[in-house]
């Protein structure tokens, strides 16, 4: 005779039967699955580990460049007419009589200790020269990239939203001019028109002779130091001298930024989610700036970081034309004077700038794109 429970199970319809419980996950499977925090930490550690490897490769390249170029560093120090015994003694002091691998390890030790040698041109340590010339380049590059971003990004978005129309053609022509016109031509034309003919801006240089030495140097950035000192006359003079070279650099930078922004936006505006958003009745401004522009931020960060790094390495022609005492002019004059310690030290500084900006761009990726996390 069957029990009441068996009878009840027979009368119960099949669809009412309770589903079988899933098998419990094993502890091994739970432990094998990495957490989000561990993935973020591993990504950060791998990025940081690439920095010393990159710097080591840069040190190798600069060392062998210094040995390959047809410039004798000993003759650059003692002169071409120095006696043979003086030349040989200087060669021994510099360790150039040692095997190449010994010279390389000695070079690495000097770099890690912060010793980049002494400049023949200025008779100062190269690190001190870089610290003195780099703030001028930093000031010029920062103002130029701010102008380029504020104008270039909206210009590229505007052109993409009006593809094929007059605005788009005008922006494309503007970008073509920015890539084709030589920088020294634009710089000389700017000096001829705005300084020599119209007199709207001051001449070459970083400040007028009247203001030289009047502001205490704290950061090396004249506009900032003038504001800290409360000297508005020196601030206006430094700002007026900054307008022309920063405008020339900004023109070339914003042409590239506008072109890349336009290309990124065109690819996004052709996406299916944009078509869906338009079908739902969303406004054009919301589709463009919130959805499409938000998705191009990651590749755009790379463009902006590399553009800024290119400006920070020293715009050689711009700094030469406008007599701007920055890193680019220091590097050029050092190369013309066969000052290899200064050339290699400035090259290492430029490489370090690229590494740092790449690292910052990678960190921004994780903030702007949740998928990277």
For the CA atoms of the chain, what is the radius of gyration? 30
pLDDT value of residue 146: 93
Q: Is the pLDDT of residue 26 over 80?
A: no
Q: How far apart are CA 16 and CA 279, in angstroms?
A: 42
Average pLDDT of the chain to the nearest whole number: 79
Question: How large a percentage of the chain has pLDDT more than 90?
Answer: 10
Q: What is the DSSP letter of 118?
A: B
Q: What is the pLDDT of residues 304-318, one digit of tens each?
A: 988 888 888 767 788
Evaluated on CA atoms 172, 315, 355, 343, the torsion sign reads positive
Task: Report the pLDDT value the prediction gives residue 93, as an integer from 0 to 100.
Answer: 74
pLDDT tens-digit series, residues 319-346: 888 888 888 888 888 887 777 788 888 8
CATH class for domain 126-372? mainly alpha
61: left (phi over 0), alpha (psi -120 to 50) or beta: alpha
- Residue carrying the six token digits 């290309």: 263
pLDDT of residue 28: 46
Q: Where are the domains of the chain?
A: 50-112, 126-372
Query: What is the band of 213 on the pLDDT scale with cuts at 50, 70, 90?
Result: confident
């Amino acid at each position: 005779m069957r029990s009441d429970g068996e009878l009840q199970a027979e009368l119960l319809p099949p669809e009412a039967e309770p589903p079988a419980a899933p098998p419990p996950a094993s502890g091994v499977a739970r432990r094998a699955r990495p957490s989000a925090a561990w993935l973020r930490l591993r990504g950060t550690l791998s990025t940081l580990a690439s920095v010393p490897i990159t710097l080591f490769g840069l040190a190798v390249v600069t060392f062998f460049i210094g040995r390959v170029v047809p410039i004798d560093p000993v003759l650059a120090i003692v002169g071409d007419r120095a006696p043979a015994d003086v030349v040989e003694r200087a060669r021994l002091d510099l360790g150039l009589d040692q095997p190449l691998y010994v010279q390389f390890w000695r070079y690495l030790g000097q770099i890690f200790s912060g010793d980049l040698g002494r400049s023949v041109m200025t008779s100062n340590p190269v690190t001190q020269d870089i610290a003195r010339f780099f703030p001028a380049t930093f000031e010029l590059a920062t103002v130029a990239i701010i102008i380029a971003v504020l104008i270039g990004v909206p210009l590229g978005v505007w052109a993409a939203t009006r593809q094929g129309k007059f605005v788009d053609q005008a922006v494309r022509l503007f970008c073509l001019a920015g890539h084709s016109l030589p920088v020294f031509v634009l710089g000389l034309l700017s000096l001829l028109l705005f300084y020599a003919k119209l007199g709207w801006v001051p001449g070459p240089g970083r400040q007028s002779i009247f203001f030289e030495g009047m502001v205490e140097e704290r950061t090396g950035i004249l506009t900032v130091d003038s504001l800290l000192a409360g000297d508005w006359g020196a601030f206006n003079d430094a700002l007026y001298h900054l307008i022309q070279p920063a405008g020339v650099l900004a023109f070339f930078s914003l042409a590239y930024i506008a072109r890349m922004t336009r290309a990124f936006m065109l690819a996004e505006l052709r996406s299916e989610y944009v078509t869906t958003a338009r079908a739902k009745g969303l406004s054009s401004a919301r589709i463009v700036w919130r959805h499409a522009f938000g998705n191009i931020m990651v590749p755009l960060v790379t463009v902006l970081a590399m553009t800024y790094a290119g400006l920070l390495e020293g715009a050689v022609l711009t700094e030469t034309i406008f007599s701007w005492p920055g890193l680019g002019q220091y590097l050029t004059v050092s190369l013309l004077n066969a000052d290899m310690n200064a050339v290699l030290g400035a090259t290492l500084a430029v490489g370090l700038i690229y590494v740092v900006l790449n690292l910052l761009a990678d960190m921004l990726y994780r903030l702007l794109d949740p998928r990277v996390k």
